[in-house]
Amino acid sequence: MNTEQIRCQSCSISKLCLPVMLADSEIEHLDNIVKRRKPYQKDEILFRQGESLTHIFTVRSGCLKTFTLDEEGNEQITGFYVPGEIVALDAIGNGTYQSYAKALDTSLVCALPYSKLDSLAGQMPGLRTQLVKVMSNEILDDKALFLLLNKKTAEQRLGAFIMNLSRRYAIRSLSSERFQLPMTQVDIANYLGMAVETVSRLFKKLHKLNLLELKHREITILNKDNLSQFAGTSCHHY
């Protein structure tokens, strides 16, 4: 079976995506508007900042990043997206993509024509509710990220970033103790607002503390509890 042909009805991540709580007949309507595209290759661009919004995207496999460009043309990464996550929700407000989106890996993606999704949401209360919930959760996640960046040290930020990725994989029934980092350390540093050198040194430190192992791009979390604690409350000031 061609993976491009998987339908919402049988998609393994449908419970994280828009079909949550829809009746079978409703899922079918949703499925009918979904376009499943050829896999995007690493570094392929899905959309560009300023283009007018045509589709909302959901990740089925692989990983995407979104970013803007600053005055000097440097990437400013604004998010990473793993399977089940929805990309471009910030474009709805004024109908224009507000960032670039690029595949970090070969990635399968579902494209939902926004106008069709919107009118379906008008007919299906469950879909409307789910869309609003997904957006509400994104606002919540953004506020959590805000607190992380604003109040925590570099080592807490990196620890929390790894734990956050791990949790997102766990919810998706992917391995949460050992996984491949889909992004480079340069990307992590950019996203977390720190220097690459700092990221490298902190990974070394986390390893020395026996919290995790990093080999090439493969992360193994050795002590989930301690890593969590380290990320949250290693800031003792007595």
Partner DNA sequence: TGGCAAACTTGACTTAAATCAAGTTTGCCT
Partner DNA sequence: AGGCAAACTTGATTTAAGTCAAGTTTGCCA
Determine if 147 is a binding residue for a copy of itself (CB under 8 A): yes
Q: CA-to-CA distance for 180 and 178, rounded, in angstroms?
A: 7
* Minimum separation from the CB atom of position 28 to a copy of itself (A): 20
Determine if 146 is a binding residue for a copy of itself (CB under 8 A): yes
Q: CA-to-CA distance for 194 and 120, rounded, in angstroms?
A: 42
Q: How many residues does the chain have?
A: 238
Determine if 217 is a binding residue for DNA (CB under 7 A): yes
Determine if 138 is a binding residue for a copy of itself (CB under 8 A): yes
SS3 181: coil
Burial of 38 (0-12, 13-18, 19+ CB in 10 A): exposed
CA-to-CA separations, 51 to 10, 96, 120, in angstroms, rounded: 32, 6, 23
Determine if 195 is a binding residue for DNA (CB under 7 A): yes
Strands 35-36 and 108-113: antiparallel
| Stretch of residues binding DNA (CB under 7 A), selected from 80-88, 167-175, 201-209, 222-230 | 201-209
Q: CA-to-CA distance for 168 and 82, rounded, in angstroms?
A: 8
Q: Which lies closer to DNA via its Cβ, residue 139 or residue 186?
A: 186
Residue ranges in 29-48 that form contacts with a copy of itself under rule CB under 8 A: none
| Stretch of residues binding a copy of itself (CB under 8 A), selected from 17-25, 32-40, 76-84, 177-185 | 76-84
Residue ranges in 6-45 that form contacts with DNA under rule CB under 7 A: none
List beta partners, residue 61: 108
Q: Among DNA, a copy of itself, none, what binds residue 203 when CB lies within 5 to 8 Å by partner kind? A: DNA
Closest CA relative to residue 108, chosen from 174, 49, 41: 41
Query: Which of 30, 63, 121, 212 contacts a copy of itself by CB under 8 A?
Result: 121
Radius of gyration of the chain measured on its C-alpha atoms: 19
Determine if 210 is a binding residue for a copy of itself (CB under 8 A): no
List beta partners, residue 179: 219
Q: Which lies closer to DNA via its Cβ, residue 58 or residue 185?
A: 185
* Minimum separation from the CB atom of position 192 to DNA (A): 8
Q: Which lies closer to DNA via its Cβ, residue 35 or residue 204?
A: 204
Binding site for DNA (CB under 7 A): 153-155, 184-186, 193-201, 203-204, 214, 216-217, 237
